[in-house]
């Protein structure tokens, strides 16, 4: 049932990734149905075919996170990584980013300066210029510190979509997952950890292995559980992970257990997962391990539907699309 | 002095248009100095030359206005008009818009539905598809209702810049100005008015007269006073307006006087001003009057510098770049 058909209000789960976000997105697309000549590939970015055959990709991300500074990064860094990674996993090279900032009156100038330096660092590292921007200041108390929207465009020779997975493919992760989500939750619950956010651009890794991949996705909101369910549904295939290969560090698992948060829904901001034909799987992992030693094969693709975990106690357990009250403002 | 050089905090005037916004922008560009292959024309949008000689234009606008519904529009409508107009005045045809929404938990679904329908209406009217988006929901009280960022890209055969004005040109306005600012202020101060916001796309008007123009700008934040000062400074010319030709309705003037707000700093969201060679001035106005009867010539361009008002009592009075405590969250 559409959220617009009832006398209702906006709930947190709509913006948290997972099932409710998807349903909201469908409602929204019923209203905003004019998409012109753009191709909807079902990925995070939209695709416009250029006269020369290349694809222009456009994507946008809003960040209103808490805390805005955290071990391993800040709101500036993840705003940049989020958008650059959405372009990267589609096989696009970023052309430029538009930066929108809404900030509260009285926000410390030195904090804004730090955030801008983080943005500049990722801009230079990935050769992605900040080409235009807008800054608005609200009265005190009308926004919690700062919100940033990054919108990126990029150009791709060939789009990597999340619907190209085939039976026989291997599922790979570019590194251990969920650390960004884990450290933000740890902060919220006053839990001390030595983990750092995994936020970083995946552009170079994606460019190194893109040609081998049938599908790719970055596990941000909704984490691995959402990514795999999306890939399985769109590619009409079944994914089976092995419990012993789940790509999570001990500390990440500990935080998830302690706080009762679904491990596989924890977001990363500097990883991707991909489907790769079996014959290229070892080669792909070898290349990825040059960037991150924890890159590995985590599962395989079969005919069928759904996402399952092959548990160490034996037997298949379904991995479902995350649902319900997720913690907001993590990424 | 840079705001980053002192132990300071962000003030409202940085986001309100006018002098402080310009100084902040310069500080920001010292940090975000990597602009790659993009051309900085000094306009609202950035320009990227395509291999076929056309120009790709990108621009972004953040809206966190109060009220979100007002006579003649809502936050959805002005978000769309703001970005489409920034593309239009540069001579670009919009290709697509990315929509980012940050909304407060508990926001009425029916209000969001109305806002989305406003967005859709402008999208269809201007044939500008919403190609991608992101929605985040914050806990109650962490944002005042809703913030929207619209980022647009467009393609131009030839860029119309704000630095092409020449001595001898006429300055024209596409219609009476300041109504959007006037009605928002009237609402804030509980003053009843029959005025409506002027928010609307200027795409068609701009396409009809673009070939005659030497420069164009939309007088949003900072209004006519900021637009003219920007054009005069960038084109290194002097602009003289005639007081009797100032393009403001009686009601707009009354609100400005009553509230002690600078008339010429009141923003419009559906108008543009332009510099046009004298030989095309009458023709341009005739075309524009098909869209809006109040379109007219408001001044002329001379050698020299600065912006002046030829007052009815005789004598030239300088029109300065707006400064100081402007009212925030108008557009």
Task: Test A153 with B35 for CB contact under 8 angstroms.
Answer: no
pTM above 0.90, yes or no: yes
Nearest by Cα to A309 from A321, A301, A317, A300: A317
Our CA-based measurement puts residue B313 at a distance from the nearest CA of chain A, in whole angstroms, of: 39
CA dist., res. B187 & res. B252, Å (int): 13
> Which one is predicted more confidently, B162 or A175?
A175
Distances B326 to A136, A169, B81 between C-alpha atoms, Å: 12, 59, 22
Cβ proximity of B259 and B311 under 8 Å: no
What pLDDT, on a 0 to 100 scale, did the predictor assign at position B1?
Answer: 64
Task: Test A116 with B36 for CB contact under 8 angstroms.
Answer: no
- Using DSSP's 3-state secondary structure scheme, residue B59 falls into strand
What ipTM did this prediction achieve? 0.96
- Which residue of B109, B130, B134 is in closest CB contact with A9? B109
Of the residues B44, B109, B120, B267, the best mutation for testing chain A's interface (the one with the most A CB atoms within 10 Å of its CB) is B109
Task: Test B36 with A129 for CB contact under 8 angstroms.
Answer: yes
pLDDT above 80: residue A327: no
Task: Test A48 with B96 for CB contact under 8 angstroms.
Answer: yes
pLDDT above 70: residue A326: no
Q: What percentage of chain B has pLDDT greater than the value 70?
A: 98
What pLDDT, on a 0 to 100 scale, did the predictor assign at position A17?
Answer: 78
pLDDT above 90: residue B216: yes
pLDDT above 70: residue B325: no
Under the banding of pLDDT at 50, 70 and 90, the label for residue A19 is confident
What pLDDT, on a 0 to 100 scale, did the predictor assign at position B18?
Answer: 77
What pLDDT, on a 0 to 100 scale, did the predictor assign at position B278?
Answer: 98
Q: What is the DSSP string of B77-136?
A: HHHHHHHHHHHHTTTPEEEEEEEEEEEETT-BHHHHHHHHHHHHHHHHHTT--EEEEEEE
Cβ proximity of B138 and A11 under 8 Å: no
| Chain B contact for A6 (CB, 8 A cutoff) | yes
What pLDDT, on a 0 to 100 scale, did the predictor assign at position A325?
Answer: 62
Q: What percentage of chain B has pLDDT greater than the value 90?
A: 85
Distance of CA A315 to the CA centre of its chain: 29
pLDDT above 70: residue B248: yes
- Which residue of A36, A52, A98 is in closest CB contact with B58? A98
Per residue in A92-149, pLDDT (tens digit) is: 999 999 999 999 999 999 999 999 999 999 999 999 999 999 999 999 999 999 999 9
**Gyration radius of chain A over CA positions:** 19
Which H or E run includes B170?
strand B170-173
- Using DSSP's 3-state secondary structure scheme, residue B286 falls into helix
Our CA-based measurement puts residue A33 at a distance from the nearest CA of chain B, in whole angstroms, of: 8
Burial letters B238-250, b for 16+ CB under 10 A, else e: bbbbeeeebbbbe
What pLDDT, on a 0 to 100 scale, did the predictor assign at position B324?
Answer: 67
Cβ proximity of B276 and B284 under 8 Å: yes
Per residue in B170-179, pLDDT (tens digit) is: 999 999 999 9
Under the banding of pLDDT at 50, 70 and 90, the label for residue B222 is very high
pLDDT above 70: residue A275: yes
Cβ proximity of A269 and A220 under 8 Å: yes
What pLDDT, on a 0 to 100 scale, did the predictor assign at position B5?
Answer: 72
pLDDT above 90: residue A13: no
pLDDT above 90: residue A232: yes
Q: The dihedral of CA A265, A269, A271, A273: what is its sign?
A: positive
CA dist., res. B95 & res. A153, Å (int): 12
pLDDT above 90: residue A323: no
What pLDDT, on a 0 to 100 scale, did the predictor assign at position B143?
Answer: 97
Of the residues A35, A42, A50, A62, the best mutation for testing chain B's interface (the one with the most B CB atoms within 10 Å of its CB) is A62
pLDDT above 90: residue B17: no
CA dist., res. A17 & res. A217, Å (int): 14
Lowest-confidence pick of A65-69, A81-85, A323-327, B34-38: A323-327
What pLDDT, on a 0 to 100 scale, did the predictor assign at position B146?
Answer: 98
- Which residue of A12, A21, A62 is in closest CB contact with B105? A12
Which residue bears the tokens 């980012």?
B100
What pLDDT, on a 0 to 100 scale, did the predictor assign at position B14?
Answer: 86
pLDDT above 90: residue B20: no
- Using DSSP's 3-state secondary structure scheme, residue A146 falls into strand
Under the banding of pLDDT at 50, 70 and 90, the label for residue B37 is very high
State chain B's mean pLDDT as an integer: 94
Q: What is the mean pLDDT of residues A73-99?
A: 98
- Which residue of A9, A131, A144 is in closest CB contact with B142? A144
Our CA-based measurement puts residue A9 at a distance from the nearest CA of chain B, in whole angstroms, of: 4
Which residue bears the tokens 């357990």?
A317
SS3 content of chain A, % helix, strand, coil (to 5): 35, 25, 40
**Residue B98: what are its φ and ψ, rounded to 5°?**
-100, 135
pLDDT above 70: residue A209: yes
pLDDT above 90: residue B15: no
What pLDDT, on a 0 to 100 scale, did the predictor assign at position B323?
Answer: 82
CA dist., res. A84 & res. A97, Å (int): 9
Our CA-based measurement puts residue B153 at a distance from the nearest CA of chain A, in whole angstroms, of: 9
A188, with CB counted inside 10 A (0-12, 13-18, 19+), is middle
Residue of A nearest to B3 (CA): A109
What pLDDT, on a 0 to 100 scale, did the predictor assign at position B125?
Answer: 98
Lowest-confidence pick of A71-85, B29-43, B82-96, B210-224: B29-43
**Gyration radius of chain B over CA positions:** 19
**Residue A84: what are its φ and ψ, rounded to 5°?**
-65, -35
Asked, as a colleague might, if the bond just before B132 is cis with ω within 30 of 0, I would say no
pLDDT above 80: residue A7: no
What pLDDT, on a 0 to 100 scale, did the predictor assign at position A1?
Answer: 64
Q: What is the mean pLDDT of residues B32-42?
A: 90
């Amino acid at each position: 049932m559409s959220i617009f058909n009832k006398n209702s209000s906006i709930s947190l789960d709509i913006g948290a990734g997972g099932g409710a976000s998807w349903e909201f997105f469908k409602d929204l697309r019923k209203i905003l149905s004019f998409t012109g000549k753009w191709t909807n590939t079902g990925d995070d970015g939209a695709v416009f075919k250029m006269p020369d055959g290349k694809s222009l990709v456009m994507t946008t991300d809003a960040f209103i996170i808490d805390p805005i500074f955290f071990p391993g990064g800040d709101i500036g860094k993840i705003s940049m990584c989020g958008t650059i990674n959405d372009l990267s996993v589609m096989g696009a090279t970023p052309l430029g980013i538009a930066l929108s900032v809404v900030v509260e009156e009285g926000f410390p100038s030195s904090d804004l300066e730090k955030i801008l330096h983080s943005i500049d660092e990722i801009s230079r590292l990935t050769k992605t210029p900040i080409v235009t921007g807008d800054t608005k200041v609200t009265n005190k108390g009308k926004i919690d510190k700062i919100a940033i929207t990054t919108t990126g465009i990029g150009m791709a020779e060939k789009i990597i979509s999340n619907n190209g997975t085939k039976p026989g493919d291997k599922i790979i992760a570019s590194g251990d997952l969920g650390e960004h989500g884990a450290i933000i939750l740890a902060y919220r619950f006053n839990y001390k950890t030595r983990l750092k956010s995994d936020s970083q651009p995946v552009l170079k890794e994606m460019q190194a292995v893109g040609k081998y991949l049938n599908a790719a996705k970055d596990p941000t909101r909704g984490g691995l559980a959402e990514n795999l369910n999306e890939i399985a549904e769109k590619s009409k295939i079944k994914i089976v992970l092995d419990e012993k290969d789940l790509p999570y560090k001990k500390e990440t698992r500990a935080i998830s257990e302690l706080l009762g948060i679904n491990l596989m829904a924890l977001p990363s901001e500097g990883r991707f997962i991909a489907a790769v034909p079996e014959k290229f799987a070892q080669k792909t992992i070898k290349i990825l391990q040059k960037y991150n030693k924890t890159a590995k094969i985590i599962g395989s693709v079969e005919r069928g539907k759904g996402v399952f975990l092959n548990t160490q106690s034996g037997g298949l357990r379904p991995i479902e699309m995350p649902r319900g009250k997720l913690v907001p403002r993590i990424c």
